[in-house]
């Protein structure tokens, strides 16, 4: 199982989130998931909102193009990005490619 998959133009990311970190940061692989540190605490949806904002900036897309498709209340999540305009270099280095 890979930490990412494409379904047409939709990118799905399997993530492991560490809320309450010092900064927002894509760390690398954590088992079969991508580990992302998020500054916001896991309270009242703040970490999910900051995660969506951070990934929208990282992929140069709008916040409305990023959604949590599974795991909204846990650390392990699946996110869907509908409009990928750029691939973050750190993820390209980990093997993320655009669909053929």
What is the per-residue pLDDT for 9? 93
Is 37:28 a contact under the CB 8 Å cutoff?
no
- What digits encode the pLDDT tens for the residues 17-36? 999 999 999 999 999 999 99
Q: How far apart are CA 90 and CA 92, in angstroms?
A: 6
pTM of the model: 0.94
CB contact at 8 A, 80 and 10: yes
Dist CA 54 CA 81 (whole Å): 12
| Domains, the chain | 4-93 (3.30.1200.10)
Q: Give the tokens for residue 95.
A: 């093997």
Look at residue 1 in the predicted model and tell me its pLDDT. Answer: 60
* pLDDT at 99 > cutoff 90: no
């Amino acid at each position: 199982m890979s930490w990412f998959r494409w379904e047409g133009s939709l990118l799905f990311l399997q993530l492991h989130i560490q809320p309450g970190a010092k900064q927002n940061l894509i760390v690398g692989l954590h088992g079969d998931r991508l580990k992302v540190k998020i500054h916001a605490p896991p309270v009242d949806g703040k970490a999910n909102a900051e995660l969506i904002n951070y990934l929208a900036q990282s992929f140069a897309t709008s916040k409305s193009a990023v959604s949590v498709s599974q795991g909204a209340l846990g650390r392990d999540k699946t996110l869907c990005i509908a409009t990928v305009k750029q691939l973050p270099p750190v993820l390209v280095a980990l093997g993320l490619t655009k669909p053929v």
